[in-house]
Structure 1
Amino acid sequence: MTATVPEAHPAGPGTHPAGRRERKKQRTRKALVDAAFRLFAEKGFDATTVEEIADAVDVSSRTFFRYFASKEDVALTFQEEQHAAMLAALNDRPADEPIMTAVRRAVVGIAVACERGELGFSADRFECMMTLTADSDTLLAGSLEHAQKKQVLITRAIADRMGVDPAGDLRPHVVASTVIAAFHAAAEAVATGTLGYSTLSEAADAAFQLLEEGVNYPTER
């Protein structure tokens, strides 16, 4: 009988262990995020500690910090995914669409996907994040800081659609700043409930419609 020799993996003998290590890291990271959001939902963001999140996964705080810089970083994984999805959606809009119309449809489309649980995390987690941000000044500040850091990417995406160089054209910077402000205005409207909006997609659609129509309003006398 002739023995069958296992076929060598084309990437070399170290590939399989490295793949297993990477999968283990991904599982640990996901477990930390899941545990964090369970605790955030039960206790609130401010009352939850890094130690509690680590304990829930049976790892040390030191291990936690290999994956995340802080508990704010865990919570904002959602915003990171949302931002990446929005840029991809904007890139997919028709090239001849006016810039604010394209942004409106991209942002509202992603908001709807979040509300339906279609962006890789559940609708419940999205709702939890909205509540956490409204209830925690610390997390709100982190969310605003995160958005500010991403502004350069939004500016570049808008400039590319407009066919201009952001190094010499102010317009994409103004549009990007306006996009961030409009999104947070919509989120605040939902959080406070004072304007009658019940969902982020509804409030965002209204906010960006105002921008499409123009905000150079006459003074009412």
Structure 2
Amino acid sequence: MTAPAPETEPTPPPGRRERKKQATREALLDAAFRLFASKGYEATTVEEIAEAVDVSTRTFFRYFASKEDVALTSQEEQFYAVLDAFRRRPPEESALTAMRHAGTLLIEALEVDGLADERMSRFDCLMRLTEESPALRAGSMERTRRKNDEMTRAIAERMGADPERDLRPRMFAAMASTAFMVAADAYRMGVCGFGSFSEAVDAAFEVLEKGFAEY
């Protein structure tokens, strides 16, 4: 069960130039993950990714700082989108309820736009790549540490807690991250018969909200 998102000012549609830039960026991401899936992360070069989209390497670097950046950016963008939505949830919601609604509603929006399966496919590919590439795994772990720190600060702010003195924000950040990962694995593997990723996320957070005492 989800709650409606808080009202926000409508976002004006992007202009033609911005749409073209976004299309180029998405084309580079698509090309990168196709090459990663067929050749592996280490064997794929920036030059090959750019060539697949018929752009120069200079153009590639206008959008991404490195090959690692193009591999990890989708996951980062989704994380920060959820965190932004979490910060904008009504202040009367608990941290757990706010995170549940932020994550579920964002994923539902991706599903409506037909983008959820593409994001999940990239996630699956990234999981395989990090198992195969020590360099990418190290970069992913470092970014995950930074993201967990940011989530801890956002949770502490909502709780009115000092994360340097109060363990709850760090525990909650770890718990929320695990809920998203468990939901992703359950949906990918067909566990519990979830019809969508958003349904799996909502169910994972429902378990957390109810707690385990009854079990």
- The two structures share one fold, judged by TM-score above 0.5: yes
Q: Deviations over 1:58-117 (max 9, x none)?
A: 313x76456535434213222222122212211121211122111111111111122223
Q: Deviations over 1:112-168 (max 9, x none)?
A: 1222238xxx44532432342354435894656533320111111111111111111
Which residue does 1:20 correspond to in 2?
Answer: none
Larger RCO (CA within 8 A; separation ≥ 6)? 2
Pick from 126, 136, 140 the counterpart of residue 119 of structure 2.
126
Cα distance in 2 for partners of 1:161, 1:90 equals 9
Partner SS state of residue 183, structure 1: helix
Cα distance in 1 for partners of 2:36, 2:91 equals 46
Pick from 176, 188, 192 the counterpart of residue 189 of structure 2.
192
CA contact (8 A) 1:32 1:54 kept: no
Pick from 11, 33, 44 the counterpart of residue 40 of structure 1.
33
CA contact (8 A) 2:183 2:204 kept: yes
Cα distance in 2 for partners of 1:127, 1:160 equals 30
- TM-score, normalised by the number of residues in structure 2: 0.72
Which residue does 2:13 correspond to in 1?
Answer: none
Instruction: Give the drift of 1:53.
Output: 0.2
Instruction: Give the drift of 1:42.
Output: 7.0
Cα distance in 1 for partners of 2:211, 2:59 equals 50
CA contact (8 A) 2:75 2:123 kept: no
1:81 paired with 2:77, answer yes
In structure 2, list runs of 5 or more residues that go unmatched.
Answer: 1-16
Q: Call closer, same or farther: CA 1:69–1:180 in 2, change over 3 Å.
A: same
Q: Call closer, same or farther: CA 1:117–1:123 in 2, change over 3 Å.
A: farther
Cα distance in 1 for partners of 2:195, 2:34 equals 20
Aligned residues: 190
Which residue does 1:15 correspond to in 2?
Answer: none
CA contact (8 A) 2:152 2:163 kept: yes
In structure 1, list runs of 5 or more residues that go unmatched.
Answer: 1-22
The structure that has the greater radius of gyration is 1
Partner SS state of residue 191, structure 2: coil
**Aligned CA-pair RMSD:** 3.1
Q: Structure 2 matches for 1:1-221, cutoff 5 A?
A: 27=21, 31=24, 33-38=26-31, 40-41=33-34, 44=37, 46-47=39-40, 49-50=44-45, 51-56=47-52, 57-60=54-57, 64=60, 67-117=63-113, 122-123=115-116, 125-133=118-126, 135-136=128-129, 137-138=131-132, 141=137, 145-216=142-213, 218=215
Cα distance in 1 for partners of 2:32, 2:79 equals 24
Cα distance in 1 for partners of 2:34, 2:113 equals 17
- TM-score, normalised by the number of residues in structure 1: 0.71
Q: Which moved more, 1:124-133 or 1:187-196?
A: 124-133
Q: Percent identity?
A: 42
